[in-house]
Amino acid sequence: MLGNEGMNGLILQTIFKMLDSAQIEYRHLEHEPTQTSEDSARVRGESTKIGGKALLVKAGKGERARFVLFVISAALQLDSVKSRKAMGVQRSRFATRDELAELTGGLVPGSVPPFGDPILPGIELYVDESVLQNERIAFNAGSLTDSIIMQVEDYRRVAVMTGIVNVTRLINESKS
C-alpha cells in the first residue's frame, strides 16, 4: 500500500476501524503524493470545496498554551482573527513541522486527518461551518498518498468535536 508505513499506516488503519465499526460507507483512494489541496482534489476527482483541510494551531502562550485542530474547507483559508476569538486567546500560530510530528506520531503537513480523539488523542477538534455545508468530505488519511471520501453526515457522527465554528475567509481576502 502506498504511503502506509509506520505510525502513518496505524492512523489509516485506526480510521478504517472507526468507520467500519460505525458502519459508515466511505471510499479509500491510494494515489500519488499530493502536496497541496489542489493536487489532492485533482487526484480525487473532487472539488477543493469538499476537501477537509486539517490545520494544527498553537493557541495562547506559555503554560496555558494548547494545540487545537481546525478543519476547514480546502477552498478557503483560516482567518487568524476569527480563530483566536473562537479559542478565546489573543495569540496563535500554526504548529511547526516538528511540533506537528511530535503531537501526531510523525505526520507531515498535508497528511493530518480531520479527527481529534480517538485518532489524534488529546487534540481539541474545531470544525468550520464551511465543511458541514457540503454533502461529502474528502481528506488525506495519515499520509500524502491515502485519501478518504465520505458523507459529511457520517463525519459528524464519528468526529469528536469540541465545537463548530466560523473561522474561514476566502483565499486572498483581507483579514477581519
Q: Is the pLDDT of residue 6 over 70?
A: no
Smallest Cα–Cα separation from 3: which of 57, 43, 38, 50?
43
Neighbours of 110 (CB within 10 A): 17
Q: Is the pLDDT of residue 1 over 50?
A: no
Domain boundaries, the chain: 6-169
| Residue 149 backbone dihedrals phi, psi, to 5 degrees | -125, 130
Cell of 51: 476537501
3-state secondary structure string, the chain? CCCCCHHHHHHHHHHHHHHHHCCCCEEEEECCCCCCHHHHHHHHCCCHHHEEEEEEEEECCHHHCEEEEEEEECCEEECHHHHHHHHCCCCEEECCHHHHHHHHCCCCCCCCCCCCCCCCCCCEEEEEHHHHCCCEEEEECCCCCEEEEEEHHHHHHHCCCCEEECCEEECCCCCC
Q: What is the mean pLDDT of the chain?
A: 92
The DSSP bridge partners found for residue 69 are 56, 125
The residue-averaged pLDDT of 130-157 equals 97
pLDDT value, residue 138: 98
pLDDT value, residue 40: 95
pLDDT digits (tens, 9 = 90+) for 58-69: 999 888 899 999
Q: Are 95 and 58 in contact (CB under 8 A)?
A: yes
Distance CA 114, CA 152 (A): 12
Domain 6-169 has CATH 3.90.960.10: yes
pLDDT value, residue 46: 94
pLDDT digits (tens, 9 = 90+) for 64-112: 899 999 999 999 999 999 999 999 999 999 999 999 999 999 999 999 9
pLDDT value, residue 173: 66
